A and B are shown apart, each in its own frame.
Chain A
Amino acid sequence: MIAEHAIPSHEAAQAPDPMGPQPFRVIKVKEEIAGCTTLTVEPENDEAKKLCFFQPGQFHMIYVFGQGEIPISISGDPSHPQQLVFTIMGVGTVSRALTKLKAGDMVGLRGPFGNTWPVEKGAGKDVMLIAGGLGLAPLRPTIYSILARRELYSRVMLLYGSRRPENILFQEQLDLWNKRMEMNVGITVDSADKKWDGNVGVVTELINDTSFSPTRTIAMICGPEVMMRFSAHALMDRGMSPKNIYVSMERNMKCAVGQCGRCQYGQYFMCKDGPVFSFEQVEQLYKVREV
């Protein structure tokens, strides 16, 4: 009647510490727009190198000495895992400290964490990427992945809403992709002065002006929650299934491994089950305040 050993014989005791950061060196700093910087970092040792392989949509926890640690989506190219690229807007203590780093400075990284954009699911279909503000950064790895295997996809569209013309992220790259006809890029701004000859209005207006086949399109949306909700509804009004619409969510996060409990959203942990969700998964939760 003696049961099997009562003590869980997991490998937990020997596993590396999921809370321990690995050292990375900043090798390039580029100011994108006011207050927003792209950092390129390189691993300092072999353990750190393991952190560089990622899928579009994933994020790392970045630590600045003494200041703290925050989740940042990767904005670089997944096919270049020798380096990691992050685009950061300085809004809080740690993010502001990150935007002030110089080449040669050290940061600590944990990750990559989270699930990925459904890049594979879009194969053979039209892909519509919808970004709001800084939400373009987490979508950029997806653009790199899709363009690297452009032949797998039919139309690729990027609809991008920015506050003002001077807030447009990755402007040169957008122009280039558009010019090469690899991707249709539509940009709109909330407001602009007379020099701007592009669209003025919210991103849902761009959706309404775009012709697409609702049954053979996959949409990936990244931006403020309200913008994602309106965009998803605009797509559904055009006949798209919430199963084919994806959003990337954001919540407070301290551990990124499902142990601090902070990033819960209904039954989901943003860090493990997200940040990417099909709109079908979150549609009901979107209707509830303060979840």
Chain B
Amino acid sequence: MADKPKLAIWKFSSCDGCQLTLLDCEDELLSVVGAVDVAYFVEASRETKPGPYDVSLVEGSITTPHEAELIQQVRKDSKFLVSIGACATGGGIQALKNYADVSDYINTVYATPEYISTLDKATPISDHVQVDFELRGCPIDKGQLLEVVNALLYNRRPNIPTHSVCIECKRRFTPCVMVRGIPCLGPVTQAGCGAICPAHERGCYGCFGPMETPNAASLGQWLLDKGMISEGDLVRLFRTFNSDAPAFRDASIHFEKEVQRDG
């Protein structure tokens, strides 16, 4: 192998859970550390090396003016930029503020609101810079992270499917929970988690964000028509971890209008 690729890991507005996935690799961690030069990873080591970096993993969404500047620099310093996790790829929980008046929130929550410097919206990394690859999930999946690292090392295309969670349920022979009466976002959500929730009799929460060509309107309408969910809950179903991902955002707005029309 040629020189070890230089890896940097960046954190924007997020909970650190995705970065921790890398430390969670346990068995594989030593091999990863052996194969790449971890040049910038403040979560794991205070020692940092300056850029440029071959690969940057970027966690978190952009919620402050400072972050909006910093991400531009990260992009300049990175040959290959991978945004990781629901915050970086779909806005994250904090993107719920996109549906509200932020100044109201600030005045309600903080004693001295003038200290708070925040943007009106929380937005995915791809709204700000060119992203070379996206890893979805809240948090990201360890296997998918290793696959991307592996693919970068050996110059292959990573096997990261963009199809529905349903295909993962079927491959592990989980009988569809939605057909058995539990509202589930699996049919419109991107695979990658291994279909964990339906395997435990829970509907998919959509934490991997919208799949390729999602038809969220059809799913929502069916849930309403069958009385499987209330209109309010349906709007909330699409507004969780990826509420700024276009397909979920549009669906939530669509059904919110239905609520208002009916109300």
Mark A residues whose CB is within 8 Å of B.
66-68, 92-93, 97
B200 within 8 A of A: no
Q: Which residues of B sit under 8 angstroms from A67, Cβ to Cβ? A: 154-156
B157 within 8 A of A: yes
Secondary structure class of chain B's binding surface, majority of residues? loop
Q: Which residues of B sit under 8 angstroms from A93, Cβ to Cβ? A: 155-157
Q: B150's closest neighbor in chain A, by CB?
A: A66
Cα of A219 to Cα of B242 in the assembled complex, Å: 55
Q: Which residues of A sit under 8 angstroms from B155, Cβ to Cβ? A: 67, 93, 97
Q: A66's closest neighbor in chain B, by CB?
A: B154
Cα of A67 to Cα of B155 in the assembled complex, Å: 8
Q: B154's closest neighbor in chain A, by CB?
A: A66
Chain A's nearest CB lies how many Å from the CB of B113?
Answer: 51
Q: B157's closest neighbor in chain A, by CB?
A: A93
- Interface flags for B141-178 (1: CB within 8 Å of A; 0: not) read 00000000000001111000000000000000000000
Question: Given A67-B156, A92-B157, A93-B157, list of 8 further CB < 8 A pairs?
Answer: A66-B154, A66-B156, A67-B154, A67-B155, A68-B157, A93-B155, A93-B156, A97-B155
- Interface flags for B164-195 (1: CB within 8 Å of A; 0: not) read 00000000000000000000000000000000
List 6 A-B pairs, Cβ < 8 Å: A66-B154, A66-B156, A67-B155, A68-B157, A92-B157, A93-B157
Cα of A228 to Cα of B154 in the assembled complex, Å: 37
Q: Which residues of B sit under 8 angstroms from A92, Cβ to Cβ? A: 157
Cα of A66 to Cα of B154 in the assembled complex, Å: 8
Q: Which residues of A sit under 8 angstroms from B157, Cβ to Cβ? A: 68, 92-93
Q: Which residues of B sit under 8 angstroms from A66, Cβ to Cβ? A: 154, 156
Closest 3 CB pairs of A and B: A93-B157, A67-B156, A93-B156
Cα of A97 to Cα of B155 in the assembled complex, Å: 9
Cα of A66 to Cα of B150 in the assembled complex, Å: 11
Cα of A97 to Cα of B156 in the assembled complex, Å: 9
Cα of A67 to Cα of B150 in the assembled complex, Å: 11
Q: Which residues of B sit under 8 angstroms from A97, Cβ to Cβ? A: 155
Q: Which residues of B sit under 8 angstroms from A68, Cβ to Cβ? A: 156-157
Q: A100's closest neighbor in chain B, by CB?
A: B155
Q: B159's closest neighbor in chain A, by CB?
A: A68
Q: Which residues of A sit under 8 angstroms from B154, Cβ to Cβ? A: 66-67
Chain B's nearest CB lies how many Å from the CB of A31?
Answer: 19
Cα of A8 to Cα of B246 in the assembled complex, Å: 52
Cα of A66 to Cα of B156 in the assembled complex, Å: 8
Chain B's nearest CB lies how many Å from the CB of A35?
Answer: 16
Q: Which residues of A sit under 8 angstroms from B156, Cβ to Cβ? A: 66-68, 93
Q: A68's closest neighbor in chain B, by CB?
A: B156
- Interface flags for B184-211 (1: CB within 8 Å of A; 0: not) read 0000000000000000000000000000
